[in-house]
Amino acid sequence: MAQASGWVAPAWADTLQNPLKGDAAATEAGKAIFSTICFVCHGNEGKGDGINAASLERKPANLTSAAVQRQSDGALFWKISKGNPPMLSFEQSLSETQRWQVINYVRKLGRAARATAGVGREVAAKGPARGADARGAAATPVVKTAASVPAAKAPPPLPPSPFAGITDGEQLFKSLCTSCHRIGQGVLIGPDLLNVRQRHPDEWLLKWIRSSQSMVKAGDTTAVRLFEQYNRQIMLDHQYLSDAQILAILDYIDETGQALAAASQAPANGQSPSQAAAYSQSFKALYQLVSGLSIIMLLIALNVLGISLLAYVWIRY
């Protein structure tokens, strides 16, 4: 059970103040982060029953439990920043503001769970003492909630996919992959995925994206090499994605790569080819307008000249 893993934040972390405490807009922003990144392990309601929970070596914490809710915002901030594999470190991939936002939302999930389960009374009675946390979970029987005990014995069946029916590669990529990968902007937690299809056949990619760890464990040479190269960091499983969904993600990666290549071939003055075309079009129009006008003006000038010549001759003779 995660709460019994003895993962304790250092005491100084308690002195970190949440600058967004009680800020409802920040809580909403935190919800968006939670439901794109954290829910895959911790579950939509934070109970530790996410879609990836079953495939992890250690159970994700039930974030609504008293053991977690009792900790200070500073301690949670420290844990979310540092990670403790398989809990990821979010120091690089989330800004400080985003980490505080998500903590606001973790508090909201805690309140929601207490409202339904009535655990709130016990938490309130114990108060927000971090000392109690540091002394360890053994001293706090509240930790053994009904929800987390059976989870440790038998992995729960996979919940229905929150992405069922979505075939937009961009949306899937942004929801599921951007916490660890970028396209053409360098390594984040995992490799830059630019041109990844030139590195692996689709067949391999389909298997890898569903469950990279199964391939590593089966001894696939490429998988083992990648896993070692990236410091044995665990890429999340995406068992619930269909072939069509994964291929849509790969298409989106291709398209992004092509767009980047097109942008870098643009003229040095920073114009994209289409912009340049638009400019030359309007220059042509302007040129035609100017030359048209000058012909008219020339005619007028000639006329004026003719009339004045006539007038001169008239007056003179």
Interaction site with ligand HEC (CB under 6 A): 2-3, 5, 7, 37-38, 40-42, 52, 56, 58, 60-61, 63, 68, 71, 76, 79-80, 84, 86-88, 90, 102, 106, 176-177, 179-181, 189-191, 193, 196, 199-200, 205, 208-209, 212, 226-227, 230, 233, 235-236, 238, 249
Instruction: Name the residue nearer to ligand HEC (CB basis): 58 or 122.
Output: 58
Nearer CB in complex with ligand HEC: 47/79: 79
| Nearer of residues 31 and 120 to ligand HEC, judged by Cβ | 31
Nearest residue (beta carbon) to ligand HEC: 190
Could you tell me which residues come within 8 angstroms of residue 187 by beta carbon, excluding any fewer than 6 positions away? none
- Cβ atoms 99, 89 nearer than 8 A: no
- Closer of 220 and 266 to ligand HEC (Cβ): 220
CA distance 284 to 273: 17
For residue 95, which phi and psi values (nearest 5 degrees)?
Answer: -70, 165
Phi-psi region of 136 (alpha: psi -120 to 50; beta: other; left: phi over 0): left
**Smallest separation (angstroms) from ligand HEC to the CB of 71:** 6
Nearer to ligand HEC, 146 or 315 (CB): 146
Task: Compute the C-alpha angle 14/20/24, nearest 5°.
Answer: 135
The alpha-helical segments, DSSP class H, found in the chain are: 24-33, 39-42, 66-69, 73-82, 96-117, 120-126, 130-134, 148-153, 169-176, 196-199, 202-217, 221-229, 243-264, 273-316
C-beta of 246: minimal distance to ligand HEC in Å? 7
Q: Could you tell me the smallest distance in angstroms from the CB atom of residue 109 to ligand HEC?
A: 10
Cα–Cα distance between 27 and 33 in angstroms, integer?
A: 10
Q: Least distance in Å: CB of 22 to ligand HEC? A: 18
Q: Output the smallest distance, CB 93 to ligand HEC, in A.
A: 8
Give min distance, CB of 38 to ligand HEC, in A. Answer: 3
- In angstroms, give the least distance from the CB of 65 to ligand HEC: 8
245, amino acid identity = Q
Residue 44 is encoded by which pair of tokens? 């939509």
Contact assessment for residue 81 and residue 91, using Cβ atoms and an 8 Å cutoff? yes
Nearer to ligand HEC, 197 or 266 (CB): 197
> Whose Cβ is closer to ligand HEC: residue 20's or residue 68's?
68
DSSP 197: H
